[in-house]
Amino acid sequence: MRVAIIGLGLIGGSIALGLKQANPEINIVGVTPRQETIDEALSRQAIDEGTTDLCRGVADADIVFLCPPLNLIVPTLKKIAQSLKSGAIVTDVGSSKTEIVAQAAKVTPQEVHFIGGHPLAGKEQTKFAAAEANLFQNRVWVLTPTAKTSRPATIILTQLIKLLEARVIEMKTDEHDIAVAGISHTPLAIAAALVNSVAAEKKSQANMKQLAASGFRDTTRVASGDPELGRDMFTTNKKAVLKTLANFKKSLTQLETAIKKGNTTKIKQLLAQAKKFRDEVYV
Amino acid sequence: MRVAIIGLGLIGGSIALGLKQANPEINIVGVTPRQETIDEALSRQAIDEGTTDLCRGVADADIVFLCPPLNLIVPTLKKIAQSLKSGAIVTDVGSSKTEIVAQAAKVTPQEVHFIGGHPLAGKEQTKFAAAEANLFQNRVWVLTPTAKTSRPATIILTQLIKLLEARVIEMKTDEHDIAVAGISHTPLAIAAALVNSVAAEKKSQANMKQLAASGFRDTTRVASGDPELGRDMFTTNKKAVLKTLANFKKSLTQLETAIKKGNTTKIKQLLAQAKKFRDEVYV
């Protein structure tokens, strides 16, 4: 089996390392614009060969993982579409799915299978240097086949991803997007806004920096992620993000009103409710 | 030196364990309503003696740490005020200071020194079982002496706290409160509201639970804290919390507007700005 991985950052690099670790027989070609990254990937034995040429990279591939920056997934797919071999399975790792899957349906040749994907395994670092073979172990990896997607193709892709020890689950694209907006994109918006609101307080900024302890560190951790990735999340998943942001603001206003009124019963009830739900999620 | 610690939860218990570890000569009396906790503290050698009687507990103490639940700090101080010996130094560990310090000034006898305090060392667990001798190591411990506070008393208290290896810093009560509202109380409000907004989405709740990864876990961690402590933070630090919450909402609206407009330049700028500030705080 020949696998092409386009983009050798954290995710693409970890897929390469993980597949090689699981089965060295899999032939992996890494495709990335930077020769340095290819050399790095070769020296860590993540790939068997590398190329900076997209079309040459995917020409004989049975399976293609699209792992470029989020906003380049569809443009990259457009570029390789005519070079894919018949029967090839193409998947991506973008964190929003509705727009990507709809666009992919338009540009993918009929004899090629596109299946949207999203491994939930982020880190602050996004480069190949941070890649690790076990990144996806026990992590959820969403696939979003549509009614038109070939079932055998989905099964083959699922088997391959399971080599990475990820937990593959299937979802509809819109269900995926609203869920990810709620648990990933909106938390990022909130974390960034919280940091910016502290930074805007020129007078107490120094004190806040001094007092910032583990609570602030954890609440804002995702704000240290890549701004371009965040921008692309908010752009490609705009509709769902705006919906979950509105829901969040409603919940916040409810708590704020209780604080304003000094309604201690209501404050405690809202906090207890949040604690209960969260403790259920992270047992 | 005889130290009385009122309230043997996470903070009071850790003070006892830490002082004993630093200097076993310090005589420590633990005061708490539950005999079981006294027995537990005695068996871990955190205290030399224990009592459920507030006034007896503080009678001969040179230094008193008030570590009851936040909303009971002032009521407890009122109860012990007349039993304190002349020259005694009393401090508290409450996470808001303006109201407590103002009330303390009213009820503390003239020959007793009250100095507001706040160690920034929270955990989700709040009971004695979670207490540890090193809880305050390298953590900030704020003291809020006022213009009227005896300097020698502040120095004695500072020396004692330094035995716990905490970094003691002094602040004005209102400066402390706005800073803590920004980096601790408002993050709690946000985390709780975020969890509640996810929990309110009956349709996608199950998907969200399934996809929730490390980002959501960290952003919402503080929402798993004690609801009563949270309630008391929002009650005793109401004014500052409402101010920092308003600032946060302004920052969030700015980002939300950029997302709505699809203004990618602005989105990236706001995210980059947040990343820069946060990376400065947590180098």
Rounded-to-integer distance, Cα B197 and Cα A250, Å? 8
Whether pLDDT at B125 is above 90:
no
**How high is the pLDDT of residue A124?**
66
Whether pLDDT at B134 is above 90:
yes
Confidence of residue B48 (pLDDT cuts 50, 70, 90): very high
Structural domain count of chain B: 2
Q: Testing the interface with B: which of A174, A229, A234 to mutate, by most B Cβ within 10 A?
A: A234
Question: Cα separations (Å) of A30 from A4, A65, A104, A125, A136?
Answer: 6, 10, 21, 20, 19
By Cβ distance, the residue of B193, B197, B274 closest to A195 is B274
Average pLDDT of span A253-273 = 98
Instruction: State the average pLDDT for chain B.
Output: 95
Q: What would the two tokens of residue A233 be?
A: 């999340």
pTM for the whole structure: 0.87
Confidence of residue B102 (pLDDT cuts 50, 70, 90): very high
**How high is the pLDDT of residue B122?**
72
Q: For residue B236, give the 3-state DSSP assignment.
A: helix
Regarding whether B157 and B17 lie in a shared domain, the answer is yes
Rounded-to-integer distance, Cα B238 and Cα A143, Å? 46
CATH code assigned at B260: 1.10.3660.10
Last residue of a domain, one of B171, B189, B219: B171
Average pLDDT of span B13-39 = 97
A251 and B193 in contact by Cβ < 8 A? yes
Average pLDDT of span A78-82 = 96
- ipTM of the predicted assembly exceeds 0.90: no
Rounded-to-integer distance, Cα B243 and Cα A204, Å? 12
Average pLDDT of span A18-30 = 97
**How high is the pLDDT of residue B124?**
66
Regarding whether A249 and A165 lie in a shared domain, the answer is no
Confidence of residue A146 (pLDDT cuts 50, 70, 90): very high
User: Which residues of chain B are within 8 Å of residue A248 when distances are taken between CB atoms?
Assistant: 193-194, 197
Angle, alpha carbons B269-B272-B276 (nearest 5°)? 140
B218 and A223 in contact by Cβ < 8 A? no
Note the residue count of chain B: 283
Q: What would the two tokens of residue B122 be?
A: 């929270």
Regarding whether A179 and A142 lie in a shared domain, the answer is no
Q: Which residue has the tokens 């224990």?
A: B50
Whether pLDDT at B192 is above 80:
yes
Q: What would the two tokens of residue A245 be?
A: 């942001």
Q: What is the DSSP letter of A85?
A: P
**How high is the pLDDT of residue A193?**
97
Structural domain boundaries, residue A45: 2-171
**How high is the pLDDT of residue B214?**
84
**How high is the pLDDT of residue B283?**
73
Rounded-to-integer distance, Cα B5 and Cα B47, Å? 9
Whether pLDDT at A81 is above 90:
yes
Last residue of a domain, one of B115, B145, B171: B171
Tell me, yes or no, if A89 comes closer than 8 A to chain B by beta carbon.
no
d(CA A104, nearest CA chain B) in Å: 22
CB A229 within 8 Å of CB A70: yes
* Residue ranges of A 102-121 with Cβ closer than 8 A to chain B: 120-121
Regarding whether B144 and B182 lie in a shared domain, the answer is no
Regarding whether A27 and A125 lie in a shared domain, the answer is yes
